Amino acid sequence: MTSGTVYEGGWTLDDVQWSKFDATKVEPGLLAAVKAASLVEYNAADYVTYLKRVFKDSGAGTLAALDRWGGEEVQHGRALGRWAEMADSSFYFEEAFARFRTGYKPPHFAGGSETSVRGSRRGEMIARCVVESGTSSYYSAIRDATAEPVLKEVAGRVAADEFRHYKFFFETLHKQDEPDLPVWKKLWIAAARVSESDDDELAYAYYCANVAKADETKIPYDRAQFAAAYNRTATVLYRRHHIDKLVQMVAKACGARAQSWLTALASVLLWWMLCLRASASRASVAST
């Protein structure tokens, strides 16, 4: 991590110094992004149920760790939601979450399947490592971007948890008694999971969090419009070192060397892509 305190695991909402909140340092774009993130994080319970089905034969220790992981994700949602309610008195976290929950149901949670949608437990763990790489980088970027003291602390605590989650899933990946996957398959799973980041989940969370229930008829949900709105707020937060770390973590999960020319090249390409997206977003805002 680049700045500040390294937070231990096992924290609770009571450990956060909420009294340091400074309304003058709240930035509207960050607020919109945090509101959306709070809903996605708070929705972890279904994912725990799904993962416990996939890992049902993996022993009590793994199942208990999955419960702990889910509890921490839910707490991330609660902490981010509480901060957002402090920053915006018109935002009601539980109400926004209820709308999100009604409208967003990933198909692999509903099916009751006993096997991973990634084809194997190893594949499932690679996909989880990709997600935790993304969230640890994202909350590190929020922590570094904000001047608001409470958001800086909450994002720092959440980011530290996400790095620990990556470590847990990475270790679980290598404990599986399945044959190792070929590199192309690992890269395919990672790429597939990254492309899912553009799915309905983030766009719909952004909509439910930032369009009031009373305005639903006037401003109906449009996936492309709200995915673009989410990307506008998210892409500008990153700095180069967040992207380097993200790519190194994904490369390591895929069995590639974190410090290789190929990983460095992937990092440069992703950084260019984000810069292009960010400048396209700025241009579209300037022209509206």
DSSP code string of 163-221: HHHHHHHHHHHHH--SPPPPHHHHHHHHHHHHHHTTSHHHHHHHHHHHS-GGGTTTS--
Q: Each residue of 250-269: b (16+ CB within 10 Å) or e? A: bbbbbebeeeeeebeebbee
Closer to Fe ion by Cβ: residue 41 or 153: 41
Q: How far is the CB of 250 from Fe ion (least distance, A)?
A: 15
What are the tokens at 55?
């890992």
Which residues, 38 to 57, sit near Fe ion by CB under 5 A?
Answer: 41
**Contact between 263 and 247 (Cβ < 8 Å):** yes
Which residue type is seen at 156?
Answer: G
Which residues, 108 to 147, sit near Fe ion by CB under 5 A?
Answer: 132
Closer to Fe ion by Cβ: residue 196 or 277: 196
Q: How far is the CB of 43 from Fe ion (least distance, A)?
A: 11
Q: What is the C-alpha to C-alpha distance for residues 29 and 32, in angstroms, rounded to an integer?
A: 5
Which residue type is seen at 200?
Answer: D
Q: How far is the CB of 157 from Fe ion (least distance, A)?
A: 10
Closer to Fe ion by Cβ: residue 130 or 211: 130
> Which helix (DSSP H) or strand (DSSP E) does residue 230 occupy?
helix 223-235
Closer to Fe ion by Cβ: residue 189 or 211: 189
Q: How far is the CB of 93 from Fe ion (least distance, A)?
A: 15
Interface residue with Fe ion among 26, 42, 65, 76 (CB under 5 A) is 76
Which residues, 148 to 177, sit near Fe ion by CB under 5 A?
Answer: 162, 165
Closer to Fe ion by Cβ: residue 76 or 186: 76
Residues in the site for Fe ion, rule: CB under 5 A?
41, 73, 76, 132, 162, 165
